[in-house]
Structure 1
Amino acid sequence: MQNILIIGAGKGGYALLKLIEEADYLQVKAVVDIDENALGMQYAKKQHIPTYTDWKHLLKSDIQIIIDVTGRKEVFLELLSNRPATAVIIPGEIANLIVTLLEEKNKFIQVLDNKNTTQELIFNSVEEGMIGIDENGIVNFFNKSASKMTQVTIEDAIGEHIYNVIAQSELPRVFEAGQTELNKELILESGTKIVTSRYPMINEEGQKIGAFAVFKDITEVVQLAEEITNLTEIQTMLEAIIQSSDDAISVVDEEGKGILINPAYSRITGLKEEEVIGKPATADISDGESIHLKVLQTRKPIRGVNIRVGKEKKDVIVNVAPILVNDRLKGSVGVIHDMTEMRSLMKELDQARTLIRNLEFSFSFEDIVGKSETIQFAINQAKLAASVPVTVLLRGEVGSGKELFAHAIHSASNRKFKQFIRVNCSSQEEHLLERELFGYEDGEVSYPGLFDEANMGTIFLDEVGELTIRTQAKLLRVLRENAIVRVGGTTPVPVDVRLIAASYFNLEKLMREGAFREDFYFQLSRMPIHVPALRERKQDLPDIANHLLVKLNKEFGRNIEGFTKSAMESLLLYDWPGNLRELENVISRAMIFLEAQDRIIEEHHLPKSILSISDEVQEEVQLGTLAEQMDVMEKKVLLNALRVCEGNKSQTAKKLNISLRTLYYKLEKYNLD
């Protein structure tokens, strides 16, 4: 151990003191400076090294090295004449040079450490395994990926012979041969299948100093290849199924051009592949319009359409559905049934069509838009009704959204996976409605009705106020006994059906007039819910309009972004006697007449009938075409008649002296049904 005396504790002495502390074979015996507050003096005191202001009494035989960093020549000469014979004096210039060299050395060491750390991070971050050996086959490099694949820790691998780590390794052979080997397959003892590349390591003098291997786990790649093979087999099998199907199948791409037909299609239409593949979807139509093009436009399936196809103009029934991959339209597939083969299956087809139609329409409470107190109160009541098996009576004006509430209640109930069937109580005669609801018996044959079809599900009776007293009595029995009696039969048939009714009528007035059974009314109205008219919650109109805009954009294939301020003000000023249906009709009509480049609905796009909010606008309406003015007037007459007859469509038709069928046509025309 060499004892050192440092004379001068300024910046140079301080730096020298810190460097000497890092050496195990050097020891600072004392630090001297005339300034006790010098940087080196303060540091020495913290390290419990003796400090002095005079050095003369410290020149003893136990001091081997004296370092003068005062920078004063007279101090150095005095030290030189008084030093012990065994001591070496190092002047300040040399001391500073030593400090500089030591600092540069530390910097280089730090740089090398940083480079090594960076290299280790890189090598340990890559997915490929890496392993290296020296000329004796000893492992000197082993990264984390190699450890993961071989299931050998880095600590257990480094310093071991390669055969102790990977018994079947070829690295020693590659070292001896001095030749590179690329993409060789190998199965490790861990069971991992790898592909490896091996390289000899040769220095600048051409000497072999080791070998290195890079390898990658290909287990997942092999599995993926097997899956691709399976998919190919599945595709081949599907093509074989399509080709062997007795049903004619045609497929078009997103542009409506044919890409696939099967032999059954050629048999029915008489068209060969070269007449269809790559041709427009209308190539096979002889009478009617292409259902493929309709489906591509709406992105919705269309079923049970009668058209004529092929050279012989055969009558067929077509079912077409869109092909959606990750919600992207890729084309459509159509199945064609020859009508000559379908006559015996018409009844089953009608039932299937009814089932599909009911399954397609599914709405939830999220589809009911509005934040006003009136609509939120109705929604909260409906949510409560959905949680308990109680009969619900929905009250509200025509077009206010009663059917939407019925759908939402069903979707939120424990019956949501079963049927939801809507029945328009005003659209059929009494005996036909009862046969449809309860089924009928003809001799020994029994035909089921809608209650059978909706078992464990929900039936929505729309416009229940138009039911006859007799039908009311039969429905009351169903509610009380959970059983039906078929028309023409006598035996009760158990059913489990949730009943939701809706009416625009004043049912209390009908009870007083004897047109509605009191017991049936109280059985229905266990949970009455009032669905507010649009004019009662106009603050919701902007949100509703934008919600409808999203829906209609999808239907029409448009990208309309919103409304101008003046257009929205016009919508808010209108009273909306037709409620939500009328609003949807107005927006859809406006969108139809927009130019392809238009993105905003402006006030002049709206129908003139809703702009009559002042005398000035009234005068502008009078300048419209005769047909437009007559439509406005006819709509007002219909609405007025419906109000007078309290929504009773039969009475409305009689009052207007038109047939019930004509009334329904006109209500549908103006979106008032």
Structure 2
Amino acid sequence: MQNVLIVDADHQSLCVLQHLEQIETYQIIGIVDRIEKGEGTKFASQNGIPHGPEPESFLSGNVQLVLDFSGDSPLTYNPKDPQITVLPRPISQLIVKLLAFQCAELHSLHSDISIYKSIFNSVGEGMIGIDEKGNINLFNDSASKMLDFSIDEVIGKPVLSIIPASGLPNVLQSGQFEADVELQLTNGLDILSSRYPLVMPGGTITGAFAVFQDVTGVIRTAEEITDLKRVKTMLEAIIHSSDDAISVVDSEGLGILVNPAYTRLTGLTEREVIGQPATVDISSGESIHMRVLETKRPVRGVNMQLGQNNRDVIVNVAPIIVDQEVKGSVGVIHDITEMRSLMKQLDHAKAMIRELESTYTFDDIIGTNEDLLVAVSQAKIAAGSDIPVMLRGEPGSGKELFAHAIHTGSRRSEGNFIRIPCASLDVEAIEAALMHTEIHHEKNSATLFLDEITELKPDVQKKLLEYIGFGRITAAGQPIQLSVRIITSSAANLERAVHKGVLCEDLYYQLTRMSIRIPPLRTRPDDIELLTDDLLTMLNQEFGMTIQHVTLKAMQRLQSYEWPGNVRELENVLSRAMILTEAGSTKLDEEDIIRALSSRSEQQTDSALPEKRSLASLMEDHEKLLLAASLKENNGQKVLTADRLGISLRSLYYKLEKYKLI
């Protein structure tokens, strides 16, 4: 190590000379500046280097080299210090120039290395190199990601310890390159590798390197393409073997696929449809394909005439959506005679199923009203426990629907839901209902729904209170332990009923531990549109109709009505409106709603209503007679009666209750 003293150097020279310390054999031990507060003094202070105005304080130390920039008034040095080499100003300046050049070259070299290193680590392909001993000396970031090793973990390690199946040692030995070699890494990654020997100008092989890329995704994509082709072939076979007529159009409404059943139904060949507008097969009416492409919504149950023979059909069309873009639409077409037969069978099956076991969930509760959502939230909490639940609300507001949903959402959902009107219960009946539920269903699995609890007789209330309080009933003098979930409902003022002695106070407190109030429909005008859409779907299936929507004015009429009968009345009004509307109509307008409404308040708001109400009243009388006759004809069997009339069992019960036929 040689210690260097710098004398009277300017700022630029000092900045260059500072790089001397980067050379391991030199160290600057001091700076002499004979100018007070000169450049040397400032530089030395900023960089923590000893400094002073005279060199003697430094020469007494261990100094081997003096760079003297003093110029016209050079310093004198003691000749007794032969170990000190003094370089005068010209030589010192030359050293500065040489150092400046070297620094510039080093900076350029470092810059180039940084660029090459950045390129090396930026490429997506993995790169790995070995020296003549087979040890890794080159490893980029992509290789690190693919092999799950950091650079520090592999540099200097034998390549076979990192990649046991590597072919680089063979390339190093043979000197021959290998291209596009498939290899699976230990982590399961599939790669494609090319290997090259590193040959020096003299022909000496000093190592080898490989460039490789992850082809796992390519292989997977190829497999997916193969699978897609297989699926496409299978789907085409399914479509062509289907007895349902199917047609598919692209986003422009041009035909791209029809099956043989379509040709049999319409009489149009594939050549007459493919590439042609969607209207080519329509005898009358608009193209449902074009409507679906425009609205991006499915359309179902549309009556049309198709093909050369003007066949009456029902068409269901749905959009084909890929990545949230409509790429076309697919239509399924049925003969209307076949559809009617299927709908009749379906209605019969649905009626039988509803008779045996009605099942509703919280998803069947339609609406976004805040009070309704609070009620639903409370009901979901109730479903998680076995405590009695009291459902309070006006007639037709959906208390039974809530009771069903609580049962379905509870741990008892596998068991039966049994509804009993309280007016029909006596002591023997309540005992029989509880014991029947316990005996005929799995323990802890059934729910008993007691409708209109204020109509329960006092002695029956006492029996129910015994069961709720102790989990048992006393029958024939013997206590019987039971486990049946109790849900009750009431449209009456319970507190007033307690005050009047109609409802036992103790029973009131037991039943209202979990009380849920269901809001009336008149407080939920924004929900009427949602409910109407849902009810139209159900009623279309029951009546075999294709009403798609109600007009704006009709909806405004519905939303302005008070609905004393709540959702049940809304269903009834829509049913009558559909029956009274023109044949083949796909919408309900304001006149249809006016004809169907029967409330006194609506009669007062429209002078044209009395005559139309009179017609509705006559039709209701006729409907009552038909119901009574059909019920008598089928010996009181409601499933057969509903099937005979072509309505749902739910609608039949509502009409029977409305006309007091049960």
Query: Which band: TM-score by shorter chain?
Result: 0.5 to 0.7
In structure 1, the residue matched to 2:115 is: 115
In structure 2, the residue matched to 1:52 is: 52
- Write the distance in 2 (CA, Å) between the matches of 1:177 and 1:133: 13
In structure 1, the residue matched to 2:89 is: 90
Residues 135/418 of structure 1: CA separation in 2 closer, same or farther (3 Å cut): same
Paired residue type of 1:169? G
1:636 partnered with 2:600: yes
1:360, distance to aligned residue in structure 2 (A): 8.2
3-state SS of paired residue (1:74): coil
Residues 266/100 of structure 1: CA separation in 2 closer, same or farther (3 Å cut): closer
Deviations 1:13-65 (A, max 9, x none): 65255323222212334322246755754775798754332225756796443
In structure 1, the residue matched to 2:140 is: 143
1:27 partnered with 2:30: no
In structure 2, the residue matched to 1:532 is: 519
Paired residue type of 1:53? P
- Write the distance in 1 (CA, Å) between the matches of 2:99 and 2:64: 19
Deviations 1:498-523 (A, max 9, x none): 66565546789999999x9999x979
Paired residue type of 1:21? E
1:100 partnered with 2:100: yes
Contact 1:12 1:96 in 2 (8 A): no
3-state SS of paired residue (1:195): strand
Note the 1:598-637 alignment, pairs <5 A.
634-636=598-600
Match of 2:392 among 390, 395, 398: 395
3-state SS of paired residue (1:87): strand
1:122, distance to aligned residue in structure 2 (A): 1.3
Contact 1:270 1:312 in 2 (8 A): yes
- Write the distance in 2 (CA, Å) between the matches of 1:39 and 1:575: 96
Aligned residues: CA RMSD = 7.4
3-state SS of paired residue (2:244): strand
1:6, distance to aligned residue in structure 2 (A): 1.2
Deviations 1:628-658 (A, max 9, x none): 9975984335799xxxxxxxxxxx989x977
* Segment drifting more, 226-235 vs 5-14: 226-235
Residues 309/182 of structure 1: CA separation in 2 closer, same or farther (3 Å cut): same
In structure 2, the residue matched to 1:194 is: 191
3-state SS of paired residue (2:213): strand
Note the 1:47-446 alignment, pairs <5 A.
50-55=50-55, 63-69=63-69, 73-75=71-73, 77-79=74-76, 86-91=85-90, 93-94=93-94, 96-98=96-98, 100-123=100-123, 126=124, 128-132=125-129, 140-146=137-143, 169=167, 183-186=180-183, 193-198=190-195, 212-219=209-216, 221-223=218-220, 225-226=222-223, 228-229=225-226, 232-233=229-230, 248-253=243-248, 259=257, 261=259, 274=270, 331=330, 349-350=349-350, 354=354, 362-363=362-363, 369-371=368-370, 378=375, 381-390=378-387, 392-397=389-394, 400=397, 402=399, 405-406=402-403, 409-410=406-407, 412-415=409-412
3-state SS of paired residue (2:107): helix
- Write the distance in 1 (CA, Å) between the matches of 2:516 and 2:249: 45
1:382, distance to aligned residue in structure 2 (A): 3.2
Deviations 1:57-115 (A, max 9, x none): 75679644322345xx333x445998977422234644653553354245324413432
Paired residue type of 1:27? Q
3-state SS of paired residue (2:88): strand
Gaps of 5+ in 1: 439-450, 483-494, 587-606, 609-626, 641-651, 669-673
- Write the distance in 1 (CA, Å) between the matches of 2:21 and 2:105: 16
- Write the distance in 1 (CA, Å) between the matches of 2:422 and 2:600: 25
3-state SS of paired residue (1:54): coil
Residues 321/315 of structure 1: CA separation in 2 closer, same or farther (3 Å cut): closer
* Segment drifting more, 326-335 vs 401-410: 326-335
Residues 230/532 of structure 1: CA separation in 2 closer, same or farther (3 Å cut): closer
- Write the distance in 1 (CA, Å) between the matches of 2:441 and 2:318: 31
- Write the distance in 2 (CA, Å) between the matches of 1:459 and 1:300: 40
In structure 1, the residue matched to 2:613 is: none
Residues 387/189 of structure 1: CA separation in 2 closer, same or farther (3 Å cut): closer
- Write the distance in 1 (CA, Å) between the matches of 2:454 and 2:113: 91
3-state SS of paired residue (1:141): strand
3-state SS of paired residue (1:196): strand
1:206, distance to aligned residue in structure 2 (A): 12
Residues 402/288 of structure 1: CA separation in 2 closer, same or farther (3 Å cut): farther
3-state SS of paired residue (1:4): strand
TM-score scaled by length of structure 2: 0.55
Deviations 1:519-570 (A, max 9, x none): 9x979955553323366x6xx867x589889999999999x9x9xxxx99x9
In structure 1, the residue matched to 2:612 is: none
Contact 1:61 1:87 in 2 (8 A): no
- Write the distance in 2 (CA, Å) between the matches of 1:276 and 1:343: 32
- Write the distance in 2 (CA, Å) between the matches of 1:630 and 1:341: 33
3-state SS of paired residue (1:363): helix
Residues 94/662 of structure 1: CA separation in 2 closer, same or farther (3 Å cut): farther
TM-score scaled by length of structure 1: 0.54
Residues 287/401 of structure 1: CA separation in 2 closer, same or farther (3 Å cut): farther
In structure 2, the residue matched to 1:643 is: none
1:321, distance to aligned residue in structure 2 (A): 9.4
Residues 31/524 of structure 1: CA separation in 2 closer, same or farther (3 Å cut): closer
- Write the distance in 1 (CA, Å) between the matches of 2:497 and 2:147: 85
Paired residue type of 2:379? A
Note the 1:579-590 alignment, pairs <5 A.
none
Note the 1:451-600 alignment, pairs <5 A.
456=445, 504=491, 526=512, 527-533=514-520
Contact 2:249 2:256 in 1 (8 A): no
Contact 1:199 1:213 in 2 (8 A): yes
- Write the distance in 1 (CA, Å) between the matches of 2:352 and 2:244: 20
Residues 405/524 of structure 1: CA separation in 2 closer, same or farther (3 Å cut): farther
In structure 2, the residue matched to 1:4 is: 4
Contact 1:271 1:310 in 2 (8 A): yes
In structure 2, the residue matched to 1:647 is: none
3-state SS of paired residue (1:20): helix
Contact 2:159 2:166 in 1 (8 A): no
3-state SS of paired residue (2:3): strand
Contact 2:266 2:281 in 1 (8 A): no
* Segment drifting more, 282-291 vs 631-640: 282-291
- Write the distance in 2 (CA, Å) between the matches of 1:230 and 1:629: 54
- Write the distance in 2 (CA, Å) between the matches of 1:286 and 1:422: 51
Paired residue type of 1:107? H
In structure 2, the residue matched to 1:612 is: none
